[in-house]
Structure 1
Amino acid sequence: MRLTLIGLIAGLALPALASEDIPDQYPGSALYSKPVEVIPNVWSAIGATAPPTYENTGHNNNLSFIVTGDGVIVVNGSAAYVLAKALHDEIKAITDQPVKLVINENGQGHAMLGNSYWSELGVPILAHVDAAHEIEENGHRILEGMLRYNRDKAEGTFIVPPTETFEDKRVIEMGDMRIEVLHLGPAHSPGDIQVWLPEQSLVIAGDMAFHERMLPIFEDTMTAEWVETWENEFEALEATYVIPGHGHPTNMDQVRRYTHDYLVYLREKIGAHLDEGGDLAEAYYVDQSPYANLDTFEELATKNAGRVYEQMEFE
């Protein structure tokens, strides 16, 4: 049975679908969940809304692919060789069209460590120039982190940089599809990109957008710039369908609520704390209760507050 976005969104009323307590939704595969057809010819294997673990094989982000009619474009190399192979097995069960391009949504491990599998097949790999730099500078450290949690499941994984890079936009005409690979501006991490299908009004948002789980704020995540990119560029797409970097496919209202609105909320809380002369130790405990329902809240809320404090202290 081919599942589409309409059925998938209907299922979102059940919190268990997004729960990080579910260890695996697809026994027998390295993938955390079986790919679903979001709209015709656009598929995504939805990752766990939890940190990467041995149990989920590091599949805690969304691995998507587009069946164009003249080949398949994969969005995200995945977190390990074994995951990329498992995704490819699913693609081959759906279509006999070959994979012609892999796109890394950024330079994080779950976007690019599976490049090792695709490179063995000779598939070109596209990423933003900043993501390529991130892979070059930090790839081996990221790989070591994956080896620690994935152990034997890391077999075959090694660092492979992108074979192609771009700066602002790459337009791909393939089969029946026009696909625009965009770098809209600073967001979650260096080199974040969005894959926009204008004729279908669908965006594979990458880590620009989060759903159902709390977003992490890294040391190099500039929250003010992320908000600006969202308001000035991402909203302008007026996408009907959104496949976020994490969480189930949904719409702009939902990802705005859990991404843009959370960033604005936290910055307002930290700003008020700074105005009152509050210090870093107290900043960790500003009220984030409106977002306590999100997966990874316990792991990330205090860290996020501390990092926003450190940023805003010098803004």
Structure 2
Amino acid sequence: MTKAFASQGDMDEKKISFTEVGEGLFAFTAEGDPNTGVIIGDDSVMIVEAQATPRLARKVIDCVRSVTDKPISHLVLTHYHAVRVLGASAYGARDIIMSDVAAAMVEERGQEDWDSEFGRFPRLFQGHEEIPGLTRPTVTFSDRMTVYLGRRRVDILHLGRAHTAGDAVVWVPDQEVMFTGDIVEFHSACYCGDGHFADWPETLAQIAAYEPRAIAPGRGDALLGEDAVAQALENTADFVRSTYRPVARVVARGGSLREAWEAVRDACDPKFSDYAIYEHCLPFNVARAYDEARGIDTPRVWTAERDQQMWAALQG
């Protein structure tokens, strides 16, 4: 019998932290679970990432209410993944913002992604009965848009492909703080199953060019100070390179997916095996790297059935 995905056995509750990353800016983190950002303006609040269910979203809202009673007016979703977007209904935001590419991906593969992630990560979908359906944006943008929360300016940017084709980041210039979604992680594996390995390092360089004083990453602790930011950007780039390069060498010699898996384990286990969700991400990362190295530019849609087929092939 094929063993279960690592995440299927991860049912322990995670300790929540709510860290101030700038004046009126907070990062909701939970030991490697998906993070959420909070931006407090003059009259209202912007949330960055919704969480997987309304139940989890209410934990974020409880933290928001510990620091402000201003209404939540905007919700930015950095990409389309179910664990990021399906809690949106809890916030009651007037505007739900995504890049136009991410919005198209909701229509193209949102339901399949929901079904797939539901099977992979049962703990994150506790309370799933409350989800009203796919989360669709009310506002989209192409390369960038600016929102004013009173006098506070917030720039929402598409800097390039990385974790997905439609990734957005949120830049708060008055504090020089960036909310990066899953383009940047800290002491957490990058999920690359829908990623673009060749583009990812350049997108990280685009983030670095803003010289942020702090970053709220997609997973892991908030990064405070230029040294912490620089380290996280380099570690993320190293993770992406260390995953892709061994696979590219295997593909170049005509090797199998299983051989690619073993090559990535040899390269990545010594450096990253203690990272959050490492074992969960690894099979999906190898499968996507194998496809990209063979010239498949657009990530294939993950379905619950494809998840199992891939996992069975890797287990031999």
TM-score normalised according to structure 2 size: 0.79
In 2: Cα distance, 1:79 partner to 1:259 partner: 23
Match for residue 172 of structure 2?
197
Structure 1 residue 277: Cα displacement: 5.3
Q: What's the offset of the Cα at 1:127?
A: 0.8
Q: Which of 226, 241, 266 is equivalent to 1:264? A: 241
Task: Classify 1:96/1:193 alpha carbon distance in 2 versus 1 (closer, same or farther; 3 Å).
Answer: same
Provide Cα deviations, 1:234-289, integer angstroms capped at 9, x if missing partner: 22111121111111111322322331122123333334444555443311111222
**Counterpart residue type for residue 184 of structure 2:** A
Structure 1 residue 101: deviation in Å? 0.6
- What corresponds to 1:215 in structure 2? 190
Q: 1:21 to 1:37 in 2, by over 3 A?
A: farther
**Contact 2:74 2:93 (C-alpha < 8 Å) held by counterparts:** no
C-alpha separation in 2, matches of 1:202 and 1:152: 32
Consecutive unaligned residues in structure 1, runs of 5 or more: 1-19, 27-32, 50-59
What does 1:58-207 align with in structure 2 at a 5 Å threshold? 60-118=33-91, 121=92, 123-145=94-116, 149=122, 153-158=127-132, 159-207=134-182
Which runs of 4 or more aligned residues in structure 1 lie more than 6 Å from their structure 2 counterparts after TM superposition? none
SS in 2 for 1:203: strand
| CA RMSD in angstroms, aligned pairs only | 2.5
SS in 2 for 1:212: coil
Q: What do residues 154-196 of structure 1 show as CA deviations (whole Å, max 9, x unaligned)?
A: 1321223111111111112223422110000111013211001
Residue type of the partner of 1:284? W
Other-structure match for 1:46: 29
Q: SS at 2:216's partner residue?
A: strand
Match of 1:211, SS state, is coil
Amino acid at match of 2:160: G
Q: Greater RCO between the two (CA within 8 Å, min separation 6)? A: 2
Q: Distance in 1 between matches of 2:114 and 2:241?
A: 33
* Partners of 2:79 and 2:102 within 8 A in 1: yes
Which letter does structure 1 place at the counterpart of 2:146? Answer: V
- Report how many aligned residue pairs link the two structures: 276
Cα deviation 1:287-315 (Å, max 9, x = unaligned): 22222232222233354234323321338
TM-score (norm 1): 0.79
